[in-house]
A and B are shown apart, each in its own frame.
Chain A
Amino acid sequence: MLLIIACFGCGLIFGAGLLVSGMTQPEKVLGFLDIFGAWDATLAFVMAGAVAVSAAGFALARRRGAPALAARYHWPTRSDIDTPLAAGAVLFGIGWGLVGICPGPALVNLAGLSVPIVVFVAAMALGMLGYELSRMRGASGTAASSVITSRADG
């Protein structure tokens, strides 16, 4: 139960950070990506703040043997730069650039239940399921069971 409360609290703080930073507003995000227009560098400051604080926290985590409320750390283990990583990043980047919304801000914005956000989140979930299905179809038999294992980087 404590674990669930901690996860809820972390989601709440994460969402508050997205709201405070302005990253739930697509025009702020698109303003950063529009380097040929009226460039808005805010996203770089958001990244700097987020990376600095999380790096300090991760360093603290690595000094402790185990997380406070769970048996072990689930650090990503992969370090290879492969084709699915690059191709997935290209597709993700195109979708992100089209509307200025990525998964975190999409879920925070879901609270307002505006039609475009509901459409976006539904399509995003479909896209995720579509990828898992295509993976299952590609990996026949034994490998298909690996679909349910949690996947790497986040």
Chain B
Amino acid sequence: MHDLTPLSGLFGGALIGLAAAALMVLTGRLAGVSGIFGGLLTSRPADRGWRLAFVAGLIAAPLVAWLSGAPLPRPAMASNLALVAAAGLLVGFGSRMGNGCTSGHGVCGFARLSARSIAATAIFMCAAVITVAVVRHGFGG
């Protein structure tokens, strides 16, 4: 399953970039998924419509693919649900505390050449690489 797929990666990445660009040019908003989703939970009701629409678009993407015959995404994941829940808590808490995730800091922050976002991306990449190394190879364990 670990086959390099550079062309679909580049093309899919370009679509992500197109969406981020269009969101800014059309609506003036930055395509940071943790910020958009997190704001849905905490922001004023008047600020929720556009956030809900973006999140609905994300969820609709595989449904559109499903209508044209693709299977719905049911990814193979760690079977330990306590681990999955812990990971979700960390991703949610950490992305709000750090003001962004792979989309807001990783994609949009790099595109803006923001030192703050590039630093955040370097830190969460390192933390993730170390986590995978410990979990899969037992380094430092």
Contacts and interface: CB of A to CB of B under 8 A. Distances in A.
Interface of A: 3-28, 30-31, 33-58, 60-61, 64, 66-76, 78-81, 84-104, 106-117, 119-132, 147-148, 150-154
Given A20-B8, A46-B16, A10 B93 contact: no
Nearest to B44: A148
Given A10-B27, A15-B58, A116-B81, 13 more contacts: A10-B26, A47-B13, A51-B17, A53-B17, A57-B20, A57-B21, A58-B112, A74-B29, A81-B116, A98-B135, A102-B101, A117-B75, A122-B85
B132 to A, nearest CB: 4
Question: Most chain-A CB neighbours within 10 Å: which of B10, B16, B61, B66?
Answer: B16
14 contacts: A10-B22, A14-B103, A20-B12, A35-B129, A42-B8, A47-B13, A50-B13, A52-B17, A53-B17, A86-B123, A92-B127, A96-B91, A109-B74, A126-B92
B35 to A, nearest CB: 4
Given A52-B17, A92-B101, A107-B59, A33 B129 contact: yes
Contact of B97 (A88, A107, A110, A113): A88
Contacts of B32: 153-154
A127 B57 contact: no
Contacts of A55: 17, 110-112
Interface residues of B, number: 122
B125 to A, nearest CB: 7
Interface of B: 1-39, 41-44, 47, 49-51, 53-66, 72-79, 81, 83-112, 114-117, 119-121, 123-133, 135-137, 139
Contact of B61 (A15, A46, A89, A121): A15
Contacts of B97: 84, 87-88, 91-92, 131
A65 B141 CA distance: 54
Contacts of A44: 9
B99 A154 contact: yes
A5 B53 contact: yes
B61 A19 contact: yes
Contact of A56 (B15, B21, B124): B21
- Interface secondary structure of A, over-half rule: helix
Contacts of B92: 95, 103, 123-131
Contact of A127 (B54, B93, B125): B93
Contacts of A91: 90, 93-94, 97-98, 127
Point out which of B3, B28, B126, B129 has the most chain A C-beta atoms below 10 A from its C-beta: B28
